[in-house]
Amino acid sequence: MVGPVTVTAISPAPTTSSPYLNGSVLNLPTANGKSGFDSRLNDGSDQSWWFDASLRSYPPITLHAGDALVSSISLAQIHSLPEVMRASDMSASPVRTVSVLTVVSSAPSADAFRPSYCDRSQTIYHAGALQRSLLPSLAPPNPASTPTLAQFESWYRRPWIDTNPFLFDAPAEYMPSYGQHIAFADSYASLLLMLNFSTSQKVNLTNYIVQYGIDLYGCVQAGVGWPAFGGHRSGRKLPIVLAGILLNENGMKNVSAAYPDQFGEDMQTVYVNQIPGGYQQAWQGASVIYGGHYGVQNNGQPVSAGLYGPYEQLQPMNWPLINGNEQLGEAYRRCCTSVSWAGEALAIHLLQAESVWNHPAFFDYVDRWMTEDDTQAVSAIKAQTGFDYSANWERQGQTRYWLQGEFPQYTFVDDMWAAYRH
């Protein structure tokens, strides 16, 4: 809307006492990183550390050009919607859906993207500027296991609000509440755009993904980041880079150079010879390794060495344990990170945009995950430590087993990789 404007009522009405439901928050990101949408964050009570009732706005609300009011509708029952991309889990978020009211100084053109809800300067990008011809037109290698565009259009059409560090307040009806699942969704959606659907068929999903990228870019410019933290912080770089490529916007294309140490995938992939200690290869001979739970900074220094840092440079018997009974690094390497990166890397390969991504270790690590036979490594880990990673969903060389039973077209990334990477 062209401002100024006064919001006199919101439906459903935001509640003014606990439990705080249906919240509206003005001008994300919040100064303290907390959420004002719903007090039942994470644990289903109003005791969540991540909620702050003082962040909520109630009518009448006067808005001026540059303001963005994000309003939510809460779920009646928490944990009642299946997680996007993982149907057996329930979403962690008590928020059902969100809408953004953006107030501008003058009416933009009809093809304008909404400015990022975190962008007070309201940078306007236009759909007419998208270089849609850059998207390949590849034959689907397994049509029966190829999702429809409509499935992902329904998820990306509405705003993905992504300023809470752990996605506790993601709109559960259509947005994942875990970073690994964000990366899976981005992988599927971007790879669908590489297929031989007609240009007109790709328009909506392309626009929706670009809008998400614009939103994320505004967020990172406003100080929001997604640095490595287990499986929570994957999936945010790809939409920004993809939007930058299609819009030919240098800031987006160079986002990781301008904002280093803000993206999980890059912090969690590193060449062995770049970390402290003088190592030249991993224990099994690999040159590129997993950077650990908190990852490695752009300068090669682990964020937190030891339990939360890289470990594959050591023999398994020397890997640190959490609580004395879990190999935190290797467990997360196999369950919650690597498996969701293959589709992201493949999409960038297909766009021939590796240099735009600007982190070669990411691609080399994904190639290692998808092509390295880890049979002997799994056996050696078990012999040295007793930990067993022989289950099919924990093995390298695939993404399908983690998604089997969770998403109908669970072989899509593997099919695309086999056809178009090697």
Q: Is residue 68 part of a domain?
A: no
Q: Is residue 196 part of a domain?
A: yes
Q: Is residue 347 part of a domain?
A: yes
Q: Is residue 24 part of a domain?
A: no
Amino acid 37: pLDDT: 98
Q: Is residue 362 part of a domain?
A: yes
DSSP state of 277: T
The residue segments making up the domain with residue 386 are: 127-422
Q: Is residue 114 part of a domain?
A: no
Amino acid at residue number 117: Y
Least Cα distance to 81 among 67, 98, 95, 101 occurs for 95
Distance CA 132, CA 291 (A): 35
| 325 pLDDT tier (thresholds 50, 70, 90) | very high
Phi, psi of 85 (to 5 degrees): 80, 0
Question: pLDDT by residue (tens digit) across 254-279?
Answer: 999 999 999 999 999 999 999 999 99
Question: pLDDT by residue (tens digit) across 92-131?
Answer: 999 999 999 999 999 999 999 999 999 999 999 999 999 9
Residue 234 burial by CB count (10 A; 0-12/13-18/19+): exposed, middle or buried? buried
Say if residue 45's pLDDT is above 80: no
Q: Is residue 276 part of a domain?
A: yes
Q: Is residue 41 part of a domain?
A: no
- Structurally, the chain folds into a number of domains equal to 1
